[in-house]
């Protein structure tokens, strides 16, 4: 089998959903190894990209190369339970109990009026703030 030319192309990302394809076509001379030509083509493409970085509309992403991306290592601790997600009602109760002034608590009157199940929590926290406990 004889080789006449080798083609090397690489896709470089320079912004989210924006890529640049850089490639080169090299003729294989008699007695020359196609693998050597391909290695040379890769070196040329990588060197060209490194010396002519595209001007990205998102500067923080322009130097990231797809095959050189580093996957972050996330340390998961087995003895800590995963954070629990609060229900809507629990979140609303937390909003009420996180208030530090009566004026701040009064901003939730409409919420309490439309959600009677929050009335007891509202009243208890209002009493607590009023008595200064």
Burial 52-66 (b: 16+ CB within 10 A, else e): eebebeeeeebeeee
pLDDT of residue 56: 52
Give yes or no for a contact between 106 and 95, defined as CB atoms under 8 angstroms apart: no
pLDDT of residue 40: 93
pLDDT of residue 62: 46
| CA separation for the pair 133, 128 (Å, rounded) | 5
Per-residue pLDDT of the chain (133 residues; tens, 9 = 90+): 677 889 999 998 877 788 889 999 999 988 888 899 999 999 999 898 888 875 655 555 444 555 555 666 767 666 777 677 888 889 889 989 999 999 999 998 888 888 888 999 999 999 999 887 5
pLDDT of residue 3: 77
């Amino acid at each position: 089998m004889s080789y006449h030319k080798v083609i090397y192309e690489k896709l470089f990302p320079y912004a989210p959903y924006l890529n640049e394809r850089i490639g080169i076509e090299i003729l294989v001379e008699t007695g020359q190894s196609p693998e050597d030509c391909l290695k040379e083509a890769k070196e040329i493409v990588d060197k060209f990209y490194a010396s002519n970085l595209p001007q990205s509309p998102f500067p923080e992403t322009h130097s990231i190369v797809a095959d050189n991306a580093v996957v972050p290592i996330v340390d998961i601790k087995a003895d800590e339970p995963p954070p629990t997600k609060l229900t809507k009602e629990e979140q609303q109760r937390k909003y009420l109990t996180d208030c530090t002034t009566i004026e701040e608590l009064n901003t939730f009157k409409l919420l309490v009026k439309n959600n009677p199940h929050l009335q007891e929590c509202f009243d208890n926290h209002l009493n607590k703030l009023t008595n200064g406990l």
